[in-house]
Chain A
Amino acid sequence: MVNIQFIEHDGSEHSVEVSTGGSVMQAAVTNGVPGIDADCGGSCSCATCHVYVNEEWLGKVGELSPTEEAMLSLSTDRKDNSRLSCQIQVTEELDGLVVTTPEFQF
């Protein structure tokens, strides 16, 4: 199992244990972690599973595809460490991953 920690905008922490294979978005949604809407169901077609990846993990979560870049570029609170969590696959390597959810999904 892989441990992922979600920190909400207000600082509330949610730690979940998931198996590999799914996405970070799915890890949040199936465990009832608030702050992630995932309106498109995980196909990189909206930007409502936006997260900020903690700096130390940035090298391990893979690169942004042009589609993800395009969707994120329309987000009003985009930062350098912004990702769509549906595009991050859960692997053993990500055990201990920490991401923060934005105040709003848009």
Chain B
Amino acid sequence: MSDVASGPESKTSKWSMVGKDPYAMPIEKIDLSHPGIWRANEFLPFMERLRSEEPVHYCPESAVGPYWSVMKYKDIMEVDTSPHIYSSEPTIGIVDSFEEFTLPAFISMDPPKHDEQRRVVQDVVAPANLKNLEGLIRQRVCTILDGLPIDEEFDWVERVSIELTTQMLATLFDFPFEDRSKLTFWSDAATAIPGGGIVSNQEERWEALQECFAYFIRLWNERVNEKSGNDLISMLAHGEATRDMPQEEYLGNIILLIVGGNDTTRNSISGGVLALNENPAEYDKLRADPGLIRNMVSEIIRWQTPLAHMRRTALVDTELGGKQIKAGEKVVMWYASGNRDEESIERANEFLIDRKNARQHLSFGFGLHRCMGNRLAEMQLTIVWEEIMKRFQKVEVVGEPERVYSSFVKGYMSLPVKLQPLD
């Protein structure tokens, strides 16, 4: 990954804000959509300035066109829960031309179609089904953790976060286990910006997605002729609301489930390790009372905010935070900012594993599009930390993490760590 800086949008890009003083530029020039400041981990002060000076902010010019940024917790809540004003169609991606997000999927549909399609698949990640999966997840977590080297540097992202979430995804799809690394690659490729380290150009990206599509069409064709099973593909192939769905809609939903079930939890697993290393007093609290894990998991998910934003499109002329938004305009809810809003969350800029009301964060969104997999994510993270605490005194971060080149997927390409065993 050493060549990521040579991507097409390095520091020299016209749009990059990397290295710039957030308070020295005209406020309309602030453009959170550009991935540079996210990879460079410089986004926080830009968000802070917008929250305090212009919480509903218009960026007239950017690489993705003009758009509104919604920065405050309460305003984000309003947008997220008003689908009749702020539509999820045609796409929830900030870039209009991202093909995979214009593939129809229920994340980018409004009611009633959204509700019908979501209902078909959500049982698989509902708590009643998760109870059956818990034992399997724990067994896999143990196998992964027991295979890690002690007192030797390795990449936590690759060995733990990716491995675990990919195994999980393979289980939910009943995807051939030996091919599971393909899921990771397809997930990364789906949201990748060419030149950002995953694929070098659009053609490569399309190739990856085509391979993914062909694979999943084959699986559909196999399962549609078998008895209905408990995996997501079988559920879609047999579900009343989905069995006649156009192929592109099926593929859109597959990409949604791959990205939704993979990148997000992966980055929260890595983000928790980093947060505890950056806040040693919190790590001490955790060692003193592992009973805090459940609460800590919510705090990790808030702190990481693995998806930095979601986009909506105004259906009608409307007003938000005193600003006039016109029908057709792009409205971006910055969850990563709302989760740091001191007006709604006490001591929002501190990582506190015993925080009160830790569950009240924006990372899963609210309203009809609230993250379907939120309980699965929490369960995976809880088990990971329970098993880590049984084995290791510390998962020590021993070098700088490398962050994803994206203003959407907020996460890590690598995180070098060393394990200290329990005394």
- Which residues of A are in contact with B by a Cβ distance under 8 Å? 37-41, 43-46, 48, 67, 70-71, 73-74, 76-77, 103-106
Contact B123 A70 (CB under 8 A): no
Q: Give every chain A residue within 8 A of B77 (Cβ-Cβ).
A: 40, 43, 45
Whether A104 and B119, one on each chain, are in contact in the complex, defined by CB atoms closer than 8 angstroms, is no
Whether A40 pairs with B115 at a CB distance below 8 angstroms is no
Using known A-B contacts A37-B359, A46-B366, determine if residue A74 contacts B126 with beta carbons closer than 8 Å: no
A74→B122 contact, CB < 8 A: yes
Distance in angstroms between the alpha carbons of A106 and B119 in the assembled complex: 13
**CB neighbours of B347 from chain A (8 A):** none
Q: Which A-chain residue is minimally distant from B366 (CB atoms)?
A: A45
The interface residues of chain A lying within 8 Å CB-to-CB of B119 are 73-74
Residues in B with CB closer than 8 Å to A77 are: 126, 128
Are B81 and A43 neighbours in the complex by a CB distance under 8 Å? Answer: yes
- Residue from B127, B359, B368, B375 in contact with A103 in the complex, judged by beta carbons closer than 8 Å: B127
Cβ of B393 within 8 Å of any chain A Cβ, yes or no, is no
Contact-residue size bin, chain B (C-beta under 8 Å from the other chain) = 20 to 34
In the complex, the chain B residue whose C-beta lies closest to that of A102 is: B127
B115 neighbours in A (Cβ, 8 Å) = 70, 73-74
CB neighbours of B360 from chain A (8 A): 39-41
> Does residue B80 face the partner (Cβ distance < 8 Å to A)?
yes
Residue-wise, chain B 116-131 has the 8 Å CB interface mask toward A (1 for contact) of 0011001100111000
B228 at the interface (CB under 8 A from A): no
Most buried by A among B111, B122, B364, B370: B370
Top 10 A-B residue pairs of the complex, sorted by shortest distance between their CB atoms: A104-B127, A45-B366, A76-B126, A39-B359, A45-B81, A41-B360, A45-B367, A40-B366, A106-B126, A106-B127
Closest to A40 in B: B366
Interchain residue pairs with CB less than 8 A apart (29): A39-B364, A40-B366, A41-B360, A43-B81, A45-B80, A45-B81, A45-B366, A45-B367, A45-B370, A46-B366, A67-B81, A70-B111, A70-B115, A70-B368, A71-B367, A73-B115, A74-B122, A76-B122, A76-B123, A76-B126, A76-B127, A76-B128, A77-B126, A103-B127, A104-B128, A105-B127, A106-B126, A106-B127, A106-B375
Known: A41-B357, A70-B111, A103-B128. 16 other contacts (CB 8 A): A39-B359, A40-B366, A43-B81, A45-B77, A45-B80, A45-B81, A45-B366, A46-B370, A70-B115, A71-B368, A74-B115, A74-B368, A77-B128, A103-B127, A104-B127, A106-B375
| A-B contacts, CB under 8 A, total | 53
Set of chain B residues within 8 Å of A43, measured between Cβ atoms: 77, 81, 366
CB contacts (< 8 Å) of A46 on chain B: these are: 366, 370
Write out the residue numbers on chain A whose beta carbons fall within 8 Å of the beta carbon of B368.
70-71, 74
Mark each residue of chain B from 75 to 88: 1 if its CB lies under 8 Å from any CB of chain A, else 0.
00100110000000
Expressed in whole angstroms, the Cα–Cα distance for A48 and B374 within the complex equals: 12
A48 to B366, CA, bound (A): 11
Chain B, residue nearest A70 (CB): B368
CB distance from B370 to the nearest CB of A (A): 6
State how many angstroms separate the Cβ of A46 from the closest Cβ of chain B: 6
Task: Report the minimal beta-carbon distance from A31 to chain B, rounded to whole angstroms.
Answer: 15
Q: Closest chain B residue to A39 by CB distance?
A: B359
CA gap between A76 and B125 in the complex, in Å: 10
Give bound CA distance, A45 to B74, whole Å. 12
B362 nearest CB across to chain A (Å): 10
Task: Give chain B residues whose Cβ lies under 8 Å from the Cβ of A70.
Answer: 111, 115, 368
User: A73 vs B370: C-alpha distance in the bound complex, in angstroms?
Assistant: 13
B47-69 with Cβ < 8 A to chain A: none
Q: How near does chain B come to A20, taking the closest CB pair, in angstroms?
A: 24
Given the complex, which residues of B lie within 8 Å of A44, measured CB to CB? Answer: 81
How distant is the Cα of A50 from the Cα of B304 in the complex, in angstroms? 27
Q: Which residues of chain B in 354-381 are interfacial with respect to chain A, using CB atoms and an 8 Å cutoff? A: 357, 359-360, 364, 366-368, 370, 375
In the bound assembly, the distance between CA atoms of A44 and B77 in angstroms comes to 11
Nearest residue (CB) in A for B372 is A74
> Which residues, 333 to 365 on B, are CB-close (under 8 Å) to A?
357, 359-360, 364
Chain A residues lying within 8 Å of B359, measured Cβ to Cβ, are 37-39, 48
Among A39, A44, A71, the one with the most B-chain Cβ atoms within 10 Å of its Cβ is: A39
Nearest-Cβ distance from residue B180 to partner chain A, whole angstroms: 27
* Cα A37 to Cα B358 with chains together (Å): 10
Asked whether B370 lies within 8 Å of A104 as measured between CB atoms, the reply is: no
State whether A74 touches B118 (Cβ < 8 A).
yes
When distances are taken between beta carbons in the complex, the residues of chain B under 8 Å from A106 are: 126-127, 375
Interfacial residues of chain B within 98-135, with CB under 8 A of chain A in the complex: 111, 115, 118-119, 122-123, 126-128
Shortest beta-carbon distance from B80 to chain A in Å:
7
A45 CA to B10 CA in the complex, in Å? 39
A37 to chain B, nearest CB (A): 6
In the complex, what's the smallest C-beta–C-beta distance from A38 to chain B, in angstroms?
8
